[in-house]
Amino acid sequence: MMTSFFDQFASPSFLGIPLIAVAIALPWVLFPTPSSRWLNNRLITLQTWFINRFTNQLLLPLNTGGHKWALLFASLMVFLITINMLGLLPYTFTPTTQLSLNMGLAVPLWLATVIIGMRNQPTVALGHLLPEGTPIPLIPVLIIIETISLFIRPLALGVRLTANLTAGHLLIQLIATAVFVLLPMMPTVAILTAAVLFLLTLLEVAVAMIQAYVFVLLLSLYLQENV
Give every CB contact of residue 136 below 8 A, 6+ residues apart in sequence.
none
pLDDT tens column, 93-134: 888 888 888 999 999 999 999 998 888 888 877 777 777 777
Task: Write the burial class of residue 84 (CB in 10 Å: 0-12 exposed, 13-18 middle, 19+ buried).
Answer: buried
Lowest-pLDDT range of 9-13, 28-32, 56-60, 64-68: 9-13
Question: Hey, which residues does 14 pair with through a beta bridge?
Answer: 17
For the full predicted model, state whether its pTM sits above 0.95.
Answer: no
CA–CA gap between residue 21 and residue 8 (Å, rounded): 16
Cβ(208)–Cβ(87) below 8 Å: yes
Kindly report the number of other CB atoms within 10 A of residue 122's CB atom.
10
